[in-house]
Structure 1
């Protein structure tokens, strides 16, 4: 399987790269300072992928700040939703999916480097994302101060926090029609014991063949028009926008 990872300038993004590599994925990394068109070109299936009915998975990394101030992130998510690109959002990437689907991201109180217990919803228990669980509790790593307690109609809640003043924050959600899923927690962290299994389940599910090509784009914020930029255009005035090396 091939993963195209958008690096939202998170300090530990290569922990995520290492996790994907350990799961056997081929990884290409693009900074969010790259043009969205460049990343979209990289998401075109190769001839081999097309012959197997597969597409690469777009992974949206964690990162600082708000999704709307994170380079090409929002433009890329809108295009991915409209074009049915298999997409996994993590932390900031999850928040971008919520925003693109019409939800609101707000302050939920800073939680950085804490393990918290979450409740998997009935929809989550039936979801491939949590197939690794055997009915026990789910402890996850949180590193964020923004989040959401309410989802737009196009997203189904898979898990929420349950503890204290921070209860009710959405920790995972899946789009009801598009191959798009996100988690607010960090599956690559050692504070998420089931993280590797969750990542593997998510990537295998998203990379599965036979998905339709397009959906009705109504209700998706800021859908971008088609473009003709090629994947070899990695121009970036702020530095190295494309790093294909798993490190």
Structure 2
């Protein structure tokens, strides 16, 4: 069936099963979660663009555990379909914030990833709350005029990254303020230099940017994987970022 019309329940892994990469479904799917916390602490919805990565289910599981309602689209659908899903509904308006667009990790270069680049450019231009992870971070860099290039393969390893002064002062990344952060890295492309529109929030000791925020749009990118068990503070980080972004752009 066509992704534009198919909606079906997601059979998600348990928390233990989600510690390993899972194979995502082809279809648009929805899942609701409840964290036991006040639902004002995070976004009403997360619209997740699946860039054909095996970690997508891990992200879905993390967001559901934080109480978010999640909708998943594969990146071969039109950008307009995803943008339509990001239009605030009654629940979003009652909560006083807009849904957050999350761009998943994935293989290859962001410019070879379906509707990804069109979606990022439009989201930044329209002020749609956006979180880019790994490939999604790289797409944000490219959309803002930066360049992604080979930085050497790093796959399935835990690295300690340094949070910059801007990162320590950043409201969404307050969870990092205590010092260095241990994160999971699965990438061979990256950047050491950011375009003018992006501020570096964290980087490795050899200068590779690990986190950045847009200076004027509600957009944050993470080169590392917060959904991995190799990023111990990942759940707290996702909660802080999505709550911040969802509150930045009022519905």
Question: So what's the TM-score if we normalise by structure 1?
Answer: 0.82
Question: Which secondary structure state, in structure 1, belongs to the residue aligned with residue 244 of structure 2?
Answer: helix
- The residue aligned with 2:99 is 56
Q: Deviation at 1:79?
A: 0.6
Tell whether the 8 Å contact from 1:107 to 1:147 is kept in structure 2 after alignment: yes
- 1:208 correspondence with 2:247: yes
**Paired residue for 2:227, among 161, 182, 188?**
188
Residue among 41, 55, 64 paired with 1:21: 64
- Asked if 1:117 is matched to 2:160, the reply is yes
Residue 53 of structure 1 deviates from its aligned partner by 3.1
Aligned residues: 208
CA separation of 1:134/1:158 partners in 2, compared to 1, >3 Å: closer, same or farther?
Answer: closer
Question: Does the 8 Å CA contact 2:185/2:225 hold for their aligned counterparts?
Answer: yes
Q: 1:134: Cα distance to partner?
A: 5.1
Q: Which runs of 5+ in 2 are unaligned?
A: 1-43
TM-score by length of 2: 0.80
Q: How does 1:66-215 map to 2 (within 5 A)?
A: 66-133=109-176, 135-162=178-205, 167-208=206-247, 211=249
What is the CA deviation profile of residues 179-221 of structure 1, one whole-angstrom value per residue up to 9, with x for unaligned ones?
0000000000011111111111001101116x379xxxxxxxx
Contact 1:36–1:72 (CA<8 Å) still a contact in 2?
yes
Whole-Å Cα distance in 1 between the matches of residues 45 and 77 of structure 2? 19
CA offset digits 1:98-150 (Å, max 9, x no partner): 00000000000000001011010000001123212352321100000000000
Structure 1 unmatched ranges of 5 or more: 214-247
State the alpha-carbon separation in 1 of the partners of residues 82 and 54 from structure 2. 21
Secondary structure of 1:44's aligned partner? coil
The 3-state SS of whatever aligns with 2:131 is strand
Structure 1 runs, 4 residues or longer, greater than 4 Å off = none
Residues 163, 176 of structure 2: 8 Å contact kept: no
Q: Is the 8 A contact 1:3 1:56 kept in 2?
A: yes
Q: Secondary structure at the match of 1:82?
A: helix
Q: Which has the higher contact order (CA 8 A, sep 6+)?
A: 1
